[in-house]
């Protein structure tokens, strides 16, 4: 197993510099909806999209997740910030309470932001919140963000898809709604969210699902942050990374997307029809 903390990115201590914040706050576009669900990205504040930052800058009320960067508050210093964070195996605001708060605030203010870590549409409980707000008669907007799986792939330079042998990606939570670990083998690359405390059980179930013991595996905790920790190993060795990532939000990548691409032979010659042409 190889474990390390990648070099910190070349960003200032405060990733949202004062001139950038002033520019974003001075150029706030009209809000197209009563409630904006904004993806904050997986780590530092500067991973938010431009549109997300602009909507946040215009918000009167912000319902914010626990894993978002506090530096984002600089974009909306005059807004009311309400902490509705969820943390695995720790104190969390109930989903029904969050839904009720969203509806209440949307009835009081014309510009409400729901700031979610990562991408709102990926394991962000977006469906329940959309239904609650829309049932109350309020218009909504969803602004995408970078998800932890993408951040982990970027931070480790290990693409989730690979030409010829990594054509499918599956995103899964490590735990079901009933609190059970559920693992399968449905794609060339499988990414498991919220899996840091489940590594021994995850390894056992991956092996039971037919993944070879030597299959590449990658554990990244706090993806998108300067203090991210990375373990490159195999499915059989996943339990050995439990201590390094304890108490930290982690994603586990298994299969083609976890392999070190520098060790693979390049694919030359004309397309053989196994992959679609690149959009680049």
- pLDDT, tens digit, 9 for 90 and up, residues 147-202: 999 999 999 999 999 998 899 999 998 776 666 788 889 899 999 998 888 899 99
Task: Using the 3D structure, point to which of 88, 109, 143 is the last residue of a domain.
Answer: 143
> Can you list the residues of the chain whose pLDDT is less than 50?
7-12, 89, 265-273, 280
Is 162 in the same domain as 218?
yes
Identify whether 250 is part of a domain: yes
Is 26 in the same domain as 136?
yes
Q: Which two tokens stand for residue 138?
A: 């309020």
Cβ atoms 187, 166 nearer than 8 A = no
Is 31 in the same domain as 110?
yes
Calculate the CA 106 to chain-centre distance: 26
Residue linked to tokens 């690979």: 162
Q: What is the pTM of this model?
A: 0.83
Q: Is 46 among the catalytic positions?
A: no
> CA 216, CA 102: separation in Å to the nearest integer?
42
Calculate the CA 237 to chain-centre distance: 24
Is 108 in the same domain as 196?
no
Identify whether 118 is part of a domain: yes
Identify whether 172 is part of a domain: yes
Cβ atoms 76, 59 nearer than 8 A = yes
Q: What does DSSP say about strands 216-221 and 80-83: parallel, antiparallel, or unpaired? A: unpaired
Which CATH number do you get for residue 216?
3.30.950.10
Cβ atoms 48, 145 nearer than 8 A = yes
Cβ atoms 43, 151 nearer than 8 A = yes
Is 160 in the same domain as 126?
no
Is 137 in the same domain as 48?
yes
Q: Catalytic pick from 13, 22, 46, 65? A: 65
Domain assignment of residue 224, given as a range:
148-262
Calculate the CA 248 to chain-centre distance: 14
Q: Number of structural domains, the chain?
A: 2
Is 75 in the same domain as 136?
yes
> CA 7, CA 42: separation in Å to the nearest integer?
17
Q: Is 86 among the catalytic positions?
A: yes
For residue 158, what pLDDT is reported?
96
């Amino acid at each position: 197993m190889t474990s390390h903390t990648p070099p910190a990115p070349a960003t200032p201590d405060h990733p949202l510099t004062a001139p950038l914040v002033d520019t974003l706050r001075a150029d706030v576009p009209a809000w197209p909806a009563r409630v904006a669900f904004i993806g904050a990205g997986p780590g530092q504040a500067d991973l938010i999209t431009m549109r997300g930052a602009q909507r946040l800058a215009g918000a009167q009320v912000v319902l914010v997740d626990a894993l978002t960067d506090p530096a984002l508050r600089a974009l909306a210093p005059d807004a009311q910030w309400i902490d509705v964070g969820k943390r695995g195996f720790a104190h969390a605001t109930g989903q029904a309470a969050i839904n009720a708060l969203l509806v209440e605030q949307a009835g009081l203010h014309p510009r409400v932001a729901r700031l979610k870590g990562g991408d709102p549409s990926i394991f962000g409980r977006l469906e329940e919140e959309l239904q609650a707000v829309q049932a109350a008669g309020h218009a909504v907007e969803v602004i995408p963000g970078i998800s932890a799986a993408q951040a982990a792939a970027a931070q480790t330079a290990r693409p989730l898809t690979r030409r010829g042998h990594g054509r499918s990606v599956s995103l899964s939570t490590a735990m079901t709604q009933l609190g059970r670990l559920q693992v399968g083998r449905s794609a060339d690359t499988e990414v498991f969210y919220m899996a840091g405390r489940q590594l021994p059980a995850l390894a056992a179930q991956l092996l039971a699902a037919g993944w070879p013991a030597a299959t590449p595996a990658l554990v990244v905790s706090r993806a998108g942050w300067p203090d991210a920790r990375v373990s490159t190993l195999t499915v059989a060795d996943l339990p050995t990374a439990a201590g390094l990532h304890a108490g930290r939000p982690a994603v586990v990548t298994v299969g083609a997307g976890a392999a070190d691409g520098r060790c693979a032979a390049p694919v030359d010659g004309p397309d053989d029809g196994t992959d679609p042409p690149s959009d680049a």
